[in-house]
Amino acid sequence: MRDLTLVLIAVGAWIAIGFLTAWWMARRGHRHPSWLFMGAVFGPVLALVAPMRVLRHPRRLARTETGPRRPGGLRVLVGVDGSAESLAALDLATGLLGPYTESLVAAEVVGYDAAEDDWDGSTVAAKSRLNSAAERSGGRVASCEVLAGPPAQALARYAHEQRIDLIIVGRHGRGLSKRLLGNVAQELVREGTVPVLVAGGRQNPSDR
């Protein structure tokens, strides 16, 4: 009986280490469910190879020009993911800053693995949500961007490279994203070099 207990403890520890490694990878932009399977099977082995597998540089996947640019104004980036909070961020950007922006950019971030083969349709879904956001803005959104990587890092890197003046994001994301991937708004405020405005969950009266 004692031997069986030791075996069960060893198996549990093996799987737990693998799952923790998969979670660590998800926080760094690798969200394919196959990593959970690999974590359960390979356990500590995955922990050893994960640092070499994880990509460290967020990148742009797709860009769509959707509206005009107005020279001389602010360059504003809005994080979009289809949640009520991200729609509130978009409404805040268009309603409060729309007339004063040179370019209003809507961006959604997908995982690195989805970027490689779009295994779950994330890229297609992101493009669809961004198109809806552009329509919702009434022509204020100048371009839509699909980025790949950890959400906060991808938005911060894009903002730095494109000389964005202000990032606007919702307080929380969709579903389990806060628990699994962390709070994007908090990470941007804590680590970013670009000013961040965090919107609540209220939407336009027309949405009620």
pLDDT of residue 55: 63
Distance, in Å, from the CA atom of 29 to the CA atom of 123, rounded to the nearest integer, reads 14
pLDDT digits 0-9 by tens, 20-73: 888 777 777 777 777 777 778 878 887 877 777 676 677 778 888 877 677 778
Q: What is the pLDDT of residues 144-200, one digit of tens each?
A: 999 988 888 899 999 999 999 999 998 765 544 444 445 888 888 887 789 999 887
Residues sharing a CB contact under 8 Å with residue 45, sequence separation 6 or more, in sequence order: none
- Tens digits of per-residue pLDDT, 73-104? 899 999 998 888 889 999 999 988 878 888 99
pLDDT number for residue 61 = 80
Backbone angles phi, psi at 199, to 5 degrees: -95, 150
Tell me, what's the pLDDT at 205? 43
Output the pLDDT for position 176.
Answer: 43
**CA dist., res. 59 & res. 101, Å (int):** 24
Residue 167: per-residue pLDDT = 94
Q: What is the 3-state secondary structure (H, E, C) of the chain?
A: CHHHHHHHHHHHHHHHHHHHHHHHHHHCCCCCCHHHHHHHHHCHHHHHHHHHHCCCCCEEEEEEECCCCCCCCEEEEEECCCCHHHHHHHHHHHHHHHHHEEEEEEEEEECHHHHHHCCCCHHHHHHHHHHHHHHHCCCCEEEEEEEECCHHHHHHHHHHHCCCCEEEEECCCCCCHHHHHCCHHHHHHHHCCCCEEEECCCCCHHHC
Q: Taking the CA of residue 31 as centre, how many other CA atoms within 13 Å lie in the half-sphere pointing to its CB?
A: 21
Q: What pLDDT does residue 99 have?
A: 80
Closest CA to 168 of 191, 194, 145: 194
Res 166: pLDDT: 94
In this prediction, residue 115 carries a pLDDT of 66
Q: What is the pLDDT of residues 127-140, one digit of tens each?
A: 999 999 999 988 88
Phi, psi of 78 (to 5 degrees): -115, 125
